[in-house]
Structure 1
């Protein structure tokens, strides 16, 4: 076991291992940080979830909910598009693995690209493939959650049926919560796309990988907690 661990560690230089560790710490750590941060200060997801709750509450007062169904369908079309695109990307990356030697030679011809073996090149492609596989699962889960929200919306009582204000609020909490979970899953998939750009920088050099990871995390933080659209959404 010790010999295996030493051999595994020798596959990559120390700088590459540090860059890889920073990538996963930045990705997973930022996701956990953003979730905790959103509980204490406004965020894009938190403010849009508030709008989703208001949407579901107003839907209970409408006789015709065709408009609400159209909105739900439009919201689910974005993760459906990204899920389809992700399948194509995964297929392309798997094809690259089948021609690793030629692809590695092409990568070494890039300006400032680090010279690596075909095995290390495969590891980089596998990392990218794993990122997009994760994104695919999050996008498809988002689609399913939107379908659950559509079912709740379709099963809601009509406006003229007898239901109390607490029941309307409870429905808005439940249906709005499902829509919010769908949006969160979609957000996770988009975040994976952003992190994939950082992983691409690994083909250049480990220092570029680390710099790209830090830049992507900073960009995500700025857009989720300090963007212009956030200030507009926060207005009463």
Structure 2
């Protein structure tokens, strides 16, 4: 049994929603309409604060914490990939369970294996995003170390601003890749609905997007940061 048109349509919608949501969040990164964009402003403020102090142990500690969290998720993706390959040996059992619970007709071992391999692809994508984010945070630590001292900032402010821009750019890029990996994990949870049929895949995808969109655009964290931005009068 191969994928029928209903499975292909549901999978296509799943991919389209994922890509569309990624494009939406990326397009808003220079505005103040999402939590990620507001945090990018805080990253820039952090780097500027680091530029104003000679002792930067606090900054290296924060970066180490960010790297630790990123490394944890990268390791978790490796374990998830291994778990998916292990489940390939139990594809027939999963197919039997899916046949009992599916709302879209029968399933078999081949379909389950295809779906498991798709899950492997998602976790592999997430791993590469986390791994690249980890490396960018490492580069950012180097750029923080390369920031000029306060006395040098006064002597050559243009060079200091250039160094600051480089540090901010890498910090923001590292954060964006981390968020992309985290979104992949959320969408992997939505993908699990496909084991119960294409209708469940669509429903789980919409449910997951509703959750992450609410946290990105309407969460208390976003509202608090936005309120502070409005009070400070900082321009977008």
TM-score, normalised to structure 2's length?
Answer: 0.89
Structure 2 counterparts to residues 128-167 of structure 1, below 5 A:
128-161=119-152, 163-167=155-159
User: Structure 1, unaligned stretches of length 5 or more?
Assistant: 1-9
User: Structure 2, unaligned stretches of length 5 or more?
Assistant: 230-236
Q: Shift in Å at residue 72 of structure 1?
A: 0.6
**Aligned equivalent of 2:77, options 80, 86, 95:** 86
Q: Tell me if structure 1 keeps the 8 A contact 2:32–2:38.
A: no
Q: Which moved more, 1:189-198 or 1:39-48?
A: 39-48
**Higher relative contact order structure (alpha carbons within 8 Å, sequence separation ≥ 6):** 1
Task: Classify 1:40/1:69 alpha carbon distance in 2 versus 1 (closer, same or farther; 3 Å).
Answer: closer
Task: Classify 1:47/1:40 alpha carbon distance in 2 versus 1 (closer, same or farther; 3 Å).
Answer: closer
Residue 172 (1) aligns with residue 164 (2): yes
Distance 2:16 2:61 in 1: 39
In the comparison of the two structures, how many residue pairs are matched?
227
Distance 2:144 2:31 in 1: 30
Q: Tell me if structure 1 keeps the 8 A contact 2:136–2:173.
A: yes
Structure 2 counterparts to residues 1-236 of structure 1, below 5 A:
11-110=2-101, 115-161=106-152, 163-234=155-226, 235-236=228-229
Cα RMSD after superposing both structures:
1.9
TM-score, normalised to structure 1's length?
Answer: 0.89
SS in 1 for 2:27: helix
Distance 1:180 1:114 in 2: 46
